[in-house]
Structure 1
Amino acid sequence: MAILRCNKCGHVAEAPTEVIGTSIDCPACANPVPVYDTVLFVRKVLQQYFAQQDEIKRLRATGEPTTATPRGADVAPLATLDIHNTDHLASEEWHRQIVSWFQRRQIQVRPSLEAVNTTGFFDEIAVEIGDNHDLLGDVVDKIRWGQQKDVPHFSLKLGERSQKEGQAINAFCKRLYEHTFLAKYFYQKQDKIGRATIQSVPAIRAFFAGEWLEWYALMKLLAFFQQKGRPFSCTRNLSVVFPNEDLHELDVFFLVDGNTPICVECKTGEFRQDIDKYLKLRKRLGIDRSQFILCCTGLADEQAAGLSGMYELTFVNPAGLSAHIAKLF
């Protein structure tokens, strides 16, 4: 048995068993929606329902207001949420539990609500880059270099790649153009050269300057905890103000089961000079070393393991992020 629920129009319907795990068009509005195994879907809904009931009982027992449970912990939305196309997370209610967690530690926070709005294309492109960084990293580097040097054009000699790699890079650049991440893109088929013009919009510049890795970490953890059926809330670009008025910004922060923090700091450039800063920040937040993660591009697995052994922090590369989270949960 299979089931679908459209995040856009709310339509619920049965679906063919053979399409479980894929997306099909909603019968009511034609919006692409994921198809779930019915038993698994119901199990996840029940898990979140009972977890929410336990949380309500706990809050009543301690005298805390039950409204502290965020709208993000509602049963149906999390299980059926299309995480790549929703503004459900961009609300004060969704962030309420995170704000309360910090307040109990006498730390003030200022959430950036729109930083978790996935109705645009930042999240999809970021996941594509992160999952294929060995192949697509050169494109990202060319865009970033052009932005830094105010060089508006770049070219890609795809003939120097294997046919499969060249086709994949060309298709990726076409998607960048279609979603306005590039101002222009043209593929000269005869010469096998891709020619692009960089987009100058500030949001796009920030994305290629490093924000893509923040989006990648956010979406990977979102997908993981949704699949596991664990209650959670999350945020990105969270401003943290300590009692002495020291200000920091956390790239990606998750609160799982209402009390387990996960902090991911994302570095696409040099990180070595910031290690001491992150060590002090982790201790001030009171987060276990396994839950305070530096996700750095360019790190080999052996380097990441070695650095994690040297310092009271966890180092991973983008490919190792999901594996580390899976070990914790």
Structure 2
Amino acid sequence: MLEAVGVISRYLQSAMAQARYDLVGPGRFLAEIPELGLRVEASHLEAAREALQEALEAWLLEALRTGLTPPGLEGGEDPVRARFFALAGEMWRLLREPPRPVPEAPEPQKPEAPEPPKEKGEGGKPRKPASLEEWLKGLGIQVVKKPQAEEEEKEKVLTRLALFLGDRYPSLEKLYERLKQSLSTKRQFELSLSEASQEEIANSTQFCTMLKQYALLTSYHYKSEERRIRAKASTEGWVQNFLTGGWLERYVAERLRKFLRSKNLPHEVAVGYQVTLPGGDAMELDVLVRVGDRVYWFEAKTGDFQAHIAKYAGLKKVLGLSARESFLVLLGMDKARAKELTALHGLTVVNQANFVEVFQEVLEGNAP
């Protein structure tokens, strides 16, 4: 283990050796590592060096947490390096898992409250779908195509990218909007970070590094002197689909899975079912969730939603779901406007930051 720790110590020393220091004004020293997008200021040189060291350590911990291989540590030939990353990955996996509940002594039996009446199916029996497919078939909806599971490693990478973008979207919004605009033109884009915060710079450069590492960006360069990003996205179809909206569907599904696992609730989550409705219309259902006997539906949009919201309101009726069981996740939507849209269109409108919280309220019966 000491050898593995040495890998990190040597990496920190090597990265700090590439640091640059400048006097930018009276009592203002700048310290930066341009390759990593790290940049700090302090009142004197030693304070700037210490602040940069702390920023580098924080960046490295975050990189390991999200599964990013820091530049300079790529390659699996070194067995010490391989053992370290295997151990780091296992530690983060254990930290992410919810603690197992400790068995408690049984309490005295209390009279059970009567269960609320359940919806009836054919023959007057309660609706108890064994699976989401069975539930759809019971509504006369034909499943035309189910999403094909990707290779395990590809699934891990795409989920990691989706979680990184979704969890940090406020600081990545400008980058994502430029990236999405460039996807339609298939041309290189530029983004100035001259007015950006340190968090925006660090997250933007790290996300671009990840996209370039996995070839979702075919080119990427960060010019630290100008605080400017230049990059170009891959034109492959699956990359375009993922970056324009597929990532948000994946993010919603993964966050719901993590939440339901943390609550030890039996569940099923399905993403991207292509179906034919009873009237013959073809549709794609972004995310379906079954929790016990109840089914919930989530649609996710990263851009204009106005032309689709009436269609979603109609589809809710076909699915036989209430407004509280039908969610529309709109990227970057402010909460006040989301409440207004909810009241107008009979769907629960949320954003990428609060949809799990609202879903929990619905499950607990506390939604307004």
Same fold (TM over 0.5): yes
> Whole-Å Cα distance in 2 between the matches of residues 38 and 162 of structure 1?
32
Partner of residue 230 from structure 1, selected from 252, 265, 269: 265
> Whole-Å Cα distance in 1 between the matches of residues 354 and 96 of structure 2?
28
Alignment RMSD: 3.0
Task: State the Cα distance separating 1:30 from its structure 2 match.
Answer: 4.6
> Whole-Å Cα distance in 1 between the matches of residues 150 and 317 of structure 2?
25
What are the ranges of 5 or more consecutive residues in structure 2 without an aligned counterpart? 1-64, 68-81, 104-122, 124-128, 364-368
> Whole-Å Cα distance in 1 between the matches of residues 345 and 251 of structure 2?
24
Letter of the 1:247 counterpart: A
Question: Radius of gyration: which is bigger?
Answer: 2
Worse-matched range after superposition: 123-132 or 227-236: 123-132
What is residue 100 of structure 2 aligned with on the other side?
41
Task: State the Cα distance separating 1:179 from its structure 2 match.
Answer: 2.2
What is residue 32 of structure 1 aligned with on the other side?
89
Task: State the Cα distance separating 1:105 from its structure 2 match.
Answer: 2.3
What is residue 129 of structure 1 aligned with on the other side?
165
Partner of residue 174 from structure 2, selected from 138, 159, 162: 138
> Whole-Å Cα distance in 1 between the matches of residues 97 and 321 of structure 2?
37
TM-score by length of 2: 0.63
Q: Deviations over 1:87-127 (max 9, x none)?
A: xxxxxxxxxx1111212222221321327966342222112
What is residue 204 of structure 2 aligned with on the other side?
169
What is residue 313 of structure 2 aligned with on the other side?
279
What is residue 309 of structure 1 aligned with on the other side?
343
Identity %: 24
Determine whether 1:185 maps to 2:220: yes
What is residue 205 of structure 1 aligned with on the other side?
240
Letter of the 1:127 counterpart: L
SS, match of residue 121 in structure 1? helix
Worse-matched range after superposition: 131-140 or 218-227: 131-140
TM-score by length of 1: 0.70
Determine whether 1:264 maps to 2:298: yes
CA distance 1:144–1:265, change in 2 (3 Å):
same
Please tell me whether the aligned partners of residues 186 and 194 of structure 1 are also in contact (alpha carbons under 8 angstroms).
yes
> Whole-Å Cα distance in 2 between the matches of residues 38 and 127 of structure 1?
16
The runs of 4+ residues in structure 1 deviating greater than 6 Å are 22-27, 36-39, 115-118
Determine whether 1:327 maps to 2:367: no
Please tell me whether the aligned partners of residues 159 and 166 of structure 1 are also in contact (alpha carbons under 8 angstroms).
no
What is residue 79 of structure 1 aligned with on the other side?
none
Task: State the Cα distance separating 1:39 from its structure 2 match.
Answer: 9.8
Partner of residue 108 from structure 1, selected from 142, 152, 163: 142
> Whole-Å Cα distance in 1 between the matches of residues 247 and 320 of structure 2?
27
Task: State the Cα distance separating 1:265 from its structure 2 match.
Answer: 0.6
Aligned length: 256
What is residue 50 of structure 2 aligned with on the other side?
none
Please tell me whether the aligned partners of residues 98 and 262 of structure 2 are also in contact (alpha carbons under 8 angstroms).
no
Letter of the 1:133 counterpart: Y
> Whole-Å Cα distance in 1 between the matches of residues 195 and 138 of structure 2?
57
CA distance 1:39–1:291, change in 2 (3 Å):
closer
Determine whether 1:219 maps to 2:219: no
Determine whether 1:253 maps to 2:310: no
> Whole-Å Cα distance in 2 between the matches of residues 195 and 280 of structure 1?
43
What are the ranges of 5 or more consecutive residues in structure 1 without an aligned counterpart? 1-21, 45-61, 63-67, 70-96
Please tell me whether the aligned partners of residues 115 and 235 of structure 1 are also in contact (alpha carbons under 8 angstroms).
no
> Whole-Å Cα distance in 1 between the matches of residues 186 and 97 of structure 2?
52
Please tell me whether the aligned partners of residues 26 and 32 of structure 1 are also in contact (alpha carbons under 8 angstroms).
no
What is residue 157 of structure 1 aligned with on the other side?
192
SS, match of residue 119 in structure 1? helix
